[in-house]
Structure 1
Protein backbone atom coordinates (compact mmCIF):
# COMPACT_ATOMS: atom_id res chain seq x y z
CA UNK A 1 0.00 0.00 0.00
CA UNK A 2 1.27 3.49 -0.82
CA UNK A 3 1.16 6.47 1.51
CA UNK A 4 -1.58 8.00 -0.59
CA UNK A 5 -3.73 4.92 -0.06
CA UNK A 6 -3.42 5.09 3.73
CA UNK A 7 -5.87 7.69 5.05
CA UNK A 8 -5.90 6.50 8.66
CA UNK A 9 -2.54 8.01 9.63
CA UNK A 10 0.25 10.33 8.56
CA UNK A 11 3.72 8.84 8.26
CA UNK A 12 7.04 10.64 7.88
CA UNK A 13 9.47 9.69 5.12
CA UNK A 14 13.24 9.61 5.62
CA UNK A 15 16.21 8.37 3.64
CA UNK A 16 18.77 6.49 5.72
CA UNK A 17 21.69 4.60 4.18
CA UNK A 18 20.29 5.52 0.77
CA UNK A 19 17.00 3.70 1.45
CA UNK A 20 13.54 5.24 1.59
CA UNK A 21 11.86 4.44 4.91
CA UNK A 22 8.55 5.36 6.52
CA UNK A 23 8.29 6.26 10.20
CA UNK A 24 4.89 5.04 11.33
CA UNK A 25 2.69 6.53 14.08
CA UNK A 26 2.24 3.02 15.48
CA UNK A 27 5.92 3.44 16.54
CA UNK A 28 7.33 1.11 13.89
CA UNK A 29 9.56 1.51 10.82
CA UNK A 30 8.60 0.36 7.30
CA UNK A 31 11.20 -0.43 4.62
CA UNK A 32 9.10 -0.78 1.47
CA UNK A 33 11.84 -1.86 -0.94
CA UNK A 34 12.53 -4.98 1.14
CA UNK A 35 9.03 -5.47 2.56
CA UNK A 36 10.41 -5.36 6.10
CA UNK A 37 8.69 -3.97 9.19
CA UNK A 38 10.97 -3.08 12.12
CA UNK A 39 9.61 -3.06 15.68
CA UNK A 40 11.61 -2.31 18.82
CA UNK A 41 10.95 -3.15 22.46
CA UNK A 42 7.69 -5.06 22.31
CA UNK A 43 8.08 -6.24 25.94
CA UNK A 44 5.27 -8.77 25.71
CA UNK A 45 4.06 -9.85 29.13
CA UNK A 46 5.51 -6.90 31.03
CA UNK A 47 2.23 -6.19 32.81
CA UNK A 48 1.84 -9.90 33.62
CA UNK A 49 5.35 -9.84 35.10
CA UNK A 50 4.42 -6.93 37.36
CA UNK A 51 1.23 -8.66 38.45
CA UNK A 52 3.25 -11.79 39.30
CA UNK A 53 5.29 -9.58 41.61
CA UNK A 54 2.15 -8.33 43.33
CA UNK A 55 1.90 -4.97 41.57
CA UNK A 56 -1.71 -3.91 40.81
CA UNK A 57 -1.38 -3.15 37.10
CA UNK A 58 -4.12 -3.71 34.49
CA UNK A 59 -4.14 -6.65 32.10
CA UNK A 60 -4.72 -6.79 28.37
CA UNK A 61 -1.57 -5.03 27.15
CA UNK A 62 -0.27 -8.11 25.33
CA UNK A 63 -3.43 -8.40 23.28
CA UNK A 64 -3.36 -4.65 22.61
CA UNK A 65 0.20 -4.94 21.31
CA UNK A 66 -0.67 -7.91 19.10
CA UNK A 67 -3.76 -6.11 17.78
CA UNK A 68 -1.60 -3.15 16.79
CA UNK A 69 0.76 -5.53 14.99
CA UNK A 70 -2.27 -7.06 13.25
CA UNK A 71 -3.28 -3.61 11.99
CA UNK A 72 0.24 -2.92 10.68
CA UNK A 73 0.34 -6.28 8.90
CA UNK A 74 -3.04 -5.64 7.31
CA UNK A 75 -1.95 -2.21 6.10
CA UNK A 76 1.58 -2.89 4.84
CA UNK A 77 1.67 -6.65 4.09
CA UNK A 78 5.27 -7.15 5.23
CA UNK A 79 7.29 -10.12 4.03
CA UNK A 80 9.36 -10.03 7.22
CA UNK A 81 9.10 -8.47 10.69
CA UNK A 82 12.34 -7.73 12.53
CA UNK A 83 12.03 -7.27 16.29
CA UNK A 84 14.92 -5.11 17.50
CA UNK A 85 15.20 -6.74 20.91
CA UNK A 86 13.11 -7.26 24.05
CA UNK A 87 10.38 -9.41 22.52
CA UNK A 88 9.46 -10.86 25.93
CA UNK A 89 9.91 -8.85 29.10
CA UNK A 90 11.00 -11.53 31.57
CA UNK A 91 10.78 -15.23 32.34
CA UNK A 92 7.43 -14.64 34.10
CA UNK A 93 6.12 -13.22 30.81
CA UNK A 94 6.10 -16.68 29.24
CA UNK A 95 2.57 -17.05 30.67
CA UNK A 96 1.35 -14.99 27.69
CA UNK A 97 2.85 -17.31 25.09
CA UNK A 98 -0.38 -19.19 24.35
CA UNK A 99 -1.89 -15.96 23.03
CA UNK A 100 1.29 -15.15 21.14
CA UNK A 101 1.25 -18.62 19.55
CA UNK A 102 -2.30 -18.08 18.27
CA UNK A 103 -1.24 -14.71 16.84
CA UNK A 104 1.81 -16.25 15.15
CA UNK A 105 -0.30 -18.97 13.54
CA UNK A 106 -2.50 -16.29 11.95
CA UNK A 107 0.62 -14.86 10.30
CA UNK A 108 2.50 -18.05 9.48
CA UNK A 109 3.41 -16.75 6.02
CA UNK A 110 5.46 -13.84 7.38
CA UNK A 111 9.13 -14.47 8.23
CA UNK A 112 10.09 -13.08 11.63
CA UNK A 113 13.49 -12.33 13.15
CA UNK A 114 14.35 -11.37 16.72
CA UNK A 115 17.62 -9.58 17.46
CA UNK A 116 18.33 -10.52 21.06
CA UNK A 117 18.14 -7.69 23.60
CA UNK A 118 18.94 -7.48 27.28
CA UNK A 119 15.47 -8.61 28.34
CA UNK A 120 15.60 -11.54 25.91
CA UNK A 121 18.71 -12.76 27.71
CA UNK A 122 16.67 -13.05 30.91
CA UNK A 123 13.38 -14.20 29.37
CA UNK A 124 14.97 -16.77 27.07
CA UNK A 125 14.43 -17.23 23.36
CA UNK A 126 10.87 -17.62 22.08
CA UNK A 127 9.88 -21.29 21.78
CA UNK A 128 10.63 -22.95 18.45
CA UNK A 129 6.90 -23.34 17.80
CA UNK A 130 6.72 -19.59 17.16
CA UNK A 131 9.04 -19.99 14.15
CA UNK A 132 10.96 -16.81 14.92
CA UNK A 133 14.59 -16.70 13.81
CA UNK A 134 16.72 -15.53 16.75
CA UNK A 135 20.03 -13.77 16.12
CA UNK A 136 22.62 -11.73 17.99
CA UNK A 137 23.42 -8.10 17.27
CA UNK A 138 24.56 -6.74 14.91
CA UNK A 139 22.44 -8.59 12.36
CA UNK A 140 23.25 -7.26 8.89
CA UNK A 141 20.42 -6.76 6.44
CA UNK A 142 21.14 -4.80 3.27
CA UNK A 143 22.73 -1.50 4.33
CA UNK A 144 21.44 -1.83 7.89
CA UNK A 145 22.91 -3.30 11.06
CA UNK A 146 19.92 -4.47 13.09
CA UNK A 147 20.72 -4.08 16.79
CA UNK A 148 19.03 -3.74 20.12
CA UNK A 149 21.59 -1.46 21.76
CA UNK A 150 22.50 1.73 19.88
CA UNK A 151 26.14 1.37 18.86
CA UNK A 152 28.53 2.39 16.11
CA UNK A 153 29.12 0.13 13.12
CA UNK A 154 31.99 0.51 10.68
CA UNK A 155 30.09 -0.25 7.47
CA UNK A 156 26.32 -0.30 8.08
CA UNK A 157 23.67 2.13 9.30
CA UNK A 158 22.46 0.99 12.73
CA UNK A 159 18.75 0.52 13.52
CA UNK A 160 18.27 0.02 17.26
CA UNK A 161 15.89 0.24 20.19
CA UNK A 162 16.55 -0.17 23.92
CA UNK A 163 16.34 3.50 24.91
CA UNK A 164 12.55 3.97 24.55
CA UNK A 165 13.21 7.55 23.39
CA UNK A 166 10.81 10.39 24.11
CA UNK A 167 11.11 14.09 23.35
CA UNK A 168 9.69 17.13 25.14
CA UNK A 169 7.71 19.85 23.41
CA UNK A 170 7.08 23.27 24.99
CA UNK A 171 4.00 25.44 24.53
CA UNK A 172 2.90 28.82 25.83
CA UNK A 173 3.67 29.52 29.47
CA UNK A 174 4.64 26.34 31.24
CA UNK A 175 2.89 23.96 28.85
CA UNK A 176 4.96 20.93 27.99
CA UNK A 177 4.32 17.42 26.74
CA UNK A 178 6.46 14.29 26.34
CA UNK A 179 5.99 12.22 23.21
CA UNK A 180 7.56 9.03 21.86
CA UNK A 181 9.97 9.74 19.04
CA UNK A 182 12.35 8.39 16.43
CA UNK A 183 15.87 9.74 16.94
CA UNK A 184 18.53 9.74 14.23
CA UNK A 185 22.11 10.94 14.05
CA UNK A 186 25.23 10.11 12.09
CA UNK A 187 25.21 6.41 11.25
CA UNK A 188 22.32 5.30 13.43
CA UNK A 189 18.67 5.66 14.40
CA UNK A 190 16.76 4.64 17.52
CA UNK A 191 13.13 3.55 17.29
CA UNK A 192 10.53 4.33 19.96
CA UNK A 193 9.31 1.45 22.09
CA UNK A 194 6.38 -0.34 20.47
CA UNK A 195 5.03 -1.87 23.70
CA UNK A 196 2.09 -0.29 25.49
CA UNK A 197 3.56 -0.56 28.99
CA UNK A 198 7.16 0.51 28.53
CA UNK A 199 7.78 4.08 29.68
CA UNK A 200 10.30 6.35 27.99
CA UNK A 201 13.69 8.02 28.35
CA UNK A 202 13.98 11.71 27.56
CA UNK A 203 16.63 12.29 24.89
CA UNK A 204 18.09 15.78 24.87
CA UNK A 205 18.75 17.80 21.76
CA UNK A 206 22.29 17.74 20.40
CA UNK A 207 24.03 18.96 17.24
CA UNK A 208 23.30 16.61 14.35
CA UNK A 209 20.55 14.78 16.24
CA UNK A 210 17.14 14.72 14.54
CA UNK A 211 13.80 13.98 16.17
CA UNK A 212 10.55 12.76 14.64
CA UNK A 213 7.79 13.02 17.21
CA UNK A 214 4.86 10.60 17.39
CA UNK A 215 1.49 11.88 18.52
CA UNK A 216 -1.95 10.46 17.87
CA UNK A 217 -1.99 9.21 14.28
CA UNK A 218 0.89 11.33 12.98
CA UNK A 219 4.68 11.48 12.83
CA UNK A 220 6.41 14.79 12.13
CA UNK A 221 9.96 16.16 12.06
CA UNK A 222 10.98 18.59 14.78
CA UNK A 223 13.25 21.53 13.94
CA UNK A 224 16.88 20.50 13.79
CA UNK A 225 19.30 21.49 16.54
CA UNK A 226 22.04 23.92 15.65
Structure 2
Protein backbone atom coordinates (compact mmCIF):
# COMPACT_ATOMS: atom_id res chain seq x y z
CA UNK A 1 0.00 0.00 0.00
CA UNK A 2 1.16 3.51 -0.81
CA UNK A 3 -1.28 5.82 1.04
CA UNK A 4 0.77 8.90 0.23
CA UNK A 5 3.31 9.99 -2.36
CA UNK A 6 6.06 12.40 -1.25
CA UNK A 7 7.16 14.92 -3.85
CA UNK A 8 9.65 17.78 -3.93
CA UNK A 9 7.99 20.95 -5.19
CA UNK A 10 9.36 24.50 -5.18
CA UNK A 11 12.02 23.56 -2.65
CA UNK A 12 9.72 21.93 -0.12
CA UNK A 13 8.34 18.43 0.48
CA UNK A 14 4.64 17.69 0.11
CA UNK A 15 2.79 14.43 0.68
CA UNK A 16 0.03 13.68 -1.80
CA UNK A 17 -2.54 11.71 0.18
CA UNK A 18 -4.85 8.95 -1.05
CA UNK A 19 -7.67 10.79 0.74
CA UNK A 20 -7.41 13.50 -1.96
CA UNK A 21 -5.59 15.99 0.25
CA UNK A 22 -2.05 17.32 0.67
CA UNK A 23 0.01 17.23 3.85
CA UNK A 24 2.90 19.68 4.20
CA UNK A 25 5.16 18.29 6.96
CA UNK A 26 7.34 21.40 7.32
CA UNK A 27 4.33 23.56 8.18
CA UNK A 28 2.25 20.75 9.72
CA UNK A 29 -0.46 21.89 7.34
CA UNK A 30 -3.28 19.87 5.82
CA UNK A 31 -4.59 21.27 2.53
CA UNK A 32 -8.14 20.45 1.41
CA UNK A 33 -9.72 21.65 -1.85
CA UNK A 34 -13.39 21.73 -2.82
CA UNK A 35 -15.14 19.96 0.03
CA UNK A 36 -18.51 21.50 -0.95
CA UNK A 37 -20.36 20.98 2.34
CA UNK A 38 -24.12 20.97 1.89
CA UNK A 39 -24.12 20.25 -1.83
CA UNK A 40 -26.49 17.31 -1.45
CA UNK A 41 -28.77 19.39 0.79
CA UNK A 42 -28.84 22.13 -1.85
CA UNK A 43 -29.84 19.62 -4.53
CA UNK A 44 -32.55 18.14 -2.31
CA UNK A 45 -34.03 21.60 -1.79
CA UNK A 46 -34.33 21.76 -5.57
CA UNK A 47 -36.26 18.47 -5.55
CA UNK A 48 -33.42 16.28 -6.79
CA UNK A 49 -33.18 12.70 -5.40
CA UNK A 50 -29.59 12.74 -4.13
CA UNK A 51 -28.00 10.74 -1.28
CA UNK A 52 -27.99 11.70 2.39
CA UNK A 53 -24.97 11.54 4.66
CA UNK A 54 -22.35 13.22 2.46
CA UNK A 55 -21.49 15.77 5.17
CA UNK A 56 -20.93 13.02 7.73
CA UNK A 57 -18.75 11.10 5.28
CA UNK A 58 -16.55 14.12 4.59
CA UNK A 59 -16.23 14.92 8.29
CA UNK A 60 -15.25 11.35 9.14
CA UNK A 61 -12.51 11.53 6.51
CA UNK A 62 -11.28 14.80 8.01
CA UNK A 63 -11.28 13.20 11.47
CA UNK A 64 -9.15 10.33 10.19
CA UNK A 65 -6.61 12.72 8.65
CA UNK A 66 -6.40 14.93 11.74
CA UNK A 67 -5.83 11.83 13.88
CA UNK A 68 -3.12 10.51 11.57
CA UNK A 69 -1.08 13.64 10.88
CA UNK A 70 0.24 16.33 13.21
CA UNK A 71 -1.81 19.28 12.00
CA UNK A 72 -1.12 22.82 13.14
CA UNK A 73 -3.07 24.34 10.24
CA UNK A 74 -6.10 23.03 8.38
CA UNK A 75 -6.44 25.07 5.18
CA UNK A 76 -9.39 24.82 2.80
CA UNK A 77 -8.59 25.96 -0.74
CA UNK A 78 -12.04 27.27 -1.50
CA UNK A 79 -15.62 26.03 -1.83
CA UNK A 80 -16.31 25.19 1.81
CA UNK A 81 -20.09 25.61 1.45
CA UNK A 82 -21.63 24.77 -1.91
CA UNK A 83 -24.49 27.27 -2.17
CA UNK A 84 -26.83 29.47 -0.12
CA UNK A 85 -29.20 26.48 0.04
CA UNK A 86 -26.40 24.52 1.75
CA UNK A 87 -26.99 26.49 4.94
CA UNK A 88 -29.66 24.01 5.99
CA UNK A 89 -30.06 23.82 9.80
CA UNK A 90 -29.08 20.15 9.87
CA UNK A 91 -25.88 20.78 7.86
CA UNK A 92 -24.82 23.77 9.97
CA UNK A 93 -25.60 21.91 13.21
CA UNK A 94 -23.43 18.98 12.12
CA UNK A 95 -20.58 21.32 11.21
CA UNK A 96 -20.88 23.09 14.57
CA UNK A 97 -20.78 19.74 16.39
CA UNK A 98 -17.64 18.74 14.48
CA UNK A 99 -15.98 22.10 15.16
CA UNK A 100 -16.62 21.75 18.88
CA UNK A 101 -14.74 18.45 18.78
CA UNK A 102 -11.75 20.26 17.24
CA UNK A 103 -12.03 23.55 19.09
CA UNK A 104 -8.26 24.08 19.29
CA UNK A 105 -7.63 23.43 15.61
CA UNK A 106 -6.56 26.45 13.55
CA UNK A 107 -8.67 26.53 10.39
CA UNK A 108 -8.38 28.88 7.41
CA UNK A 109 -10.56 29.15 4.32
CA UNK A 110 -9.27 30.73 1.11
CA UNK A 111 -12.46 31.98 -0.54
CA UNK A 112 -13.52 30.24 -3.75
CA UNK A 113 -16.25 30.99 -6.26
CA UNK A 114 -18.86 28.95 -4.37
CA UNK A 115 -17.95 30.69 -1.10
CA UNK A 116 -18.65 34.06 -2.66
CA UNK A 117 -22.15 32.87 -3.53
CA UNK A 118 -22.84 30.81 -0.40
CA UNK A 119 -21.34 33.34 2.00
CA UNK A 120 -18.63 32.86 4.60
CA UNK A 121 -19.03 30.04 7.13
CA UNK A 122 -21.03 30.96 10.24
CA UNK A 123 -19.00 32.86 12.81
CA UNK A 124 -19.44 30.13 15.43
CA UNK A 125 -17.34 27.78 13.30
CA UNK A 126 -14.33 30.00 14.11
CA UNK A 127 -12.78 29.79 10.65
CA UNK A 128 -10.43 32.51 9.43
CA UNK A 129 -11.52 33.54 5.94
CA UNK A 130 -9.10 35.19 3.51
CA UNK A 131 -9.08 36.17 -0.13
CA UNK A 132 -6.69 34.46 -2.49
CA UNK A 133 -3.77 34.18 -2.67
CA UNK A 134 -2.64 33.07 0.78
CA UNK A 135 1.15 33.19 0.56
CA UNK A 136 2.83 30.60 2.76
CA UNK A 137 6.46 29.60 2.24
CA UNK A 138 7.10 29.02 -1.49
CA UNK A 139 3.40 28.54 -2.27
CA UNK A 140 0.45 30.70 -3.23
CA UNK A 141 -2.55 28.85 -1.80
CA UNK A 142 -5.52 29.62 -4.02
CA UNK A 143 -8.84 28.33 -5.23
CA UNK A 144 -8.63 29.52 -8.81
CA UNK A 145 -5.77 28.03 -10.87
CA UNK A 146 -4.33 31.40 -11.86
CA UNK A 147 -0.55 31.87 -12.10
CA UNK A 148 1.29 33.89 -9.47
CA UNK A 149 4.35 36.00 -10.36
CA UNK A 150 6.58 34.83 -7.50
CA UNK A 151 5.10 31.71 -5.86
CA UNK A 152 4.18 28.21 -6.97
CA UNK A 153 0.37 27.98 -7.00
CA UNK A 154 -1.49 25.19 -5.23
CA UNK A 155 -5.14 25.40 -6.27
CA UNK A 156 -8.43 23.55 -6.53
CA UNK A 157 -11.57 24.50 -8.47
CA UNK A 158 -11.03 22.17 -11.44
CA UNK A 159 -11.67 18.77 -9.71
CA UNK A 160 -9.12 16.98 -11.92
CA UNK A 161 -9.47 13.32 -12.89
CA UNK A 162 -7.65 11.07 -15.34
CA UNK A 163 -9.22 8.42 -17.54
CA UNK A 164 -7.37 5.10 -17.70
CA UNK A 165 -7.87 2.95 -20.80
CA UNK A 166 -8.02 -0.83 -20.53
CA UNK A 167 -8.53 -3.47 -23.15
CA UNK A 168 -11.30 -2.94 -25.63
CA UNK A 169 -13.63 -0.22 -24.46
CA UNK A 170 -12.78 -0.44 -20.76
CA UNK A 171 -12.47 2.96 -19.14
CA UNK A 172 -11.81 4.01 -15.54
CA UNK A 173 -11.77 7.64 -14.45
CA UNK A 174 -9.94 8.38 -11.19
CA UNK A 175 -9.25 11.61 -9.29
CA UNK A 176 -5.70 12.86 -9.58
CA UNK A 177 -3.15 15.46 -8.60
CA UNK A 178 -1.70 17.54 -11.45
CA UNK A 179 1.79 18.85 -10.77
CA UNK A 180 3.25 21.55 -13.00
CA UNK A 181 6.27 23.84 -13.14
CA UNK A 182 4.54 26.85 -11.56
CA UNK A 183 1.01 25.60 -10.87
CA UNK A 184 -0.38 22.41 -9.34
CA UNK A 185 -3.96 21.20 -8.88
CA UNK A 186 -5.52 19.28 -6.01
CA UNK A 187 -8.46 16.91 -6.56
CA UNK A 188 -11.81 17.70 -4.98
CA UNK A 189 -11.98 16.33 -1.44
CA UNK A 190 -15.78 16.26 -1.28
CA UNK A 191 -17.45 12.94 -2.05
CA UNK A 192 -20.41 14.47 -3.88
CA UNK A 193 -18.57 16.46 -6.55
CA UNK A 194 -18.03 16.17 -10.27
CA UNK A 195 -14.69 15.97 -12.05
CA UNK A 196 -12.94 17.39 -15.10
CA UNK A 197 -10.86 14.99 -17.16
CA UNK A 198 -7.26 16.05 -17.77
CA UNK A 199 -4.91 14.52 -20.35
CA UNK A 200 -1.30 13.41 -20.13
CA UNK A 201 -0.66 15.43 -23.26
CA UNK A 202 -1.35 18.59 -21.27
CA UNK A 203 2.21 18.24 -19.87
CA UNK A 204 1.17 17.66 -16.26
CA UNK A 205 2.97 15.24 -14.01
CA UNK A 206 -0.08 13.25 -12.96
CA UNK A 207 -0.54 11.27 -9.75
CA UNK A 208 -3.63 9.05 -9.83
CA UNK A 209 -5.63 8.06 -6.72
CA UNK A 210 -7.35 4.71 -6.44
CA UNK A 211 -7.87 1.80 -4.05
CA UNK A 212 -6.30 3.71 -1.16
CA UNK A 213 -3.07 4.47 -3.03
CA UNK A 214 -1.36 7.29 -4.92
CA UNK A 215 0.93 6.53 -7.82
CA UNK A 216 2.59 8.50 -10.63
CA UNK A 217 0.95 7.90 -13.97
CA UNK A 218 4.18 8.46 -15.84
CA UNK A 219 7.77 9.40 -15.17
CA UNK A 220 8.35 13.09 -14.45
CA UNK A 221 8.94 15.10 -17.60
CA UNK A 222 10.05 18.69 -18.10
CA UNK A 223 7.10 21.04 -17.84
CA UNK A 224 6.62 24.52 -19.21
CA UNK A 225 5.87 27.47 -16.90
CA UNK A 226 2.36 28.85 -17.11
CA UNK A 227 -1.17 27.86 -16.36
CA UNK A 228 -1.22 24.70 -18.52
CA UNK A 229 0.36 23.64 -16.32
TM-score category of the 2 structures, normalised to the smaller one: over 0.9
Q: How far apart are 1:97 and its partner, in Å?
A: 0.9
Unpaired segments ≥5 residues, structure 2 = 223-229
> Which of 115, 124, 131 matches 2:126?
131
Report the Cα distance in structure 2 between the residues aligned to 1:204 and 1:136, rounded to whole angstroms.
30
Query: Would you say 1:115 and 2:110 are equivalent positions?
Result: yes
Shift of 1:176: 1.6
Q: 1:149 aligns with which of 138, 144, 163?
A: 144
Q: 1:77 Cα deviation (Å)?
A: 2.5
Pairwise CA RMSD: 1.3
Quote the Cα distance in structure 1 between the aligned partners of 2:121 and 2:198: 31
1:88 is the counterpart of 2:71: no
2:61 match:
68
Counting only pairs closer than 5 Å after superposition, residues 40-51 of structure 1 correspond to structure 2 as 40-51=33-44
Aligned pair 1:98/2:93, yes or no?
A: yes
CA distance in 2, matches of 1:196, 1:38: 16
Q: Offset at 1:207? A: 5.4
- Do 1:36 and 1:80's aligned partners in 2 also have CA atoms closer than 8 Å? yes
Q: Does 1:11 pair with 2:18?
A: no
CA distance in 1, matches of 2:122, 2:201: 41
> Aligned pair count?
219
Q: Residue 206 of structure 1 corresponds to which residue in structure 2? A: 201
Partner of residue 3, structure 1: none
CA offsets, 1:9-29, max 9 Å, x none?
Answer: 521111111111100000000
Unaligned runs of 5+ in 1: 1-6
Distance 2:30 2:14 in 1: 10
1:30 counterpart (23, 43, 48): 23
Q: TM-score, normalised by structure 1?
A: 0.94
After superposing on structure 2, the runs of 4+ consecutive aligned residues of structure 1 that deviate more than 6 Å are: none
2:218 and 2:171 map into 1 onto residues whose CA distance is 16
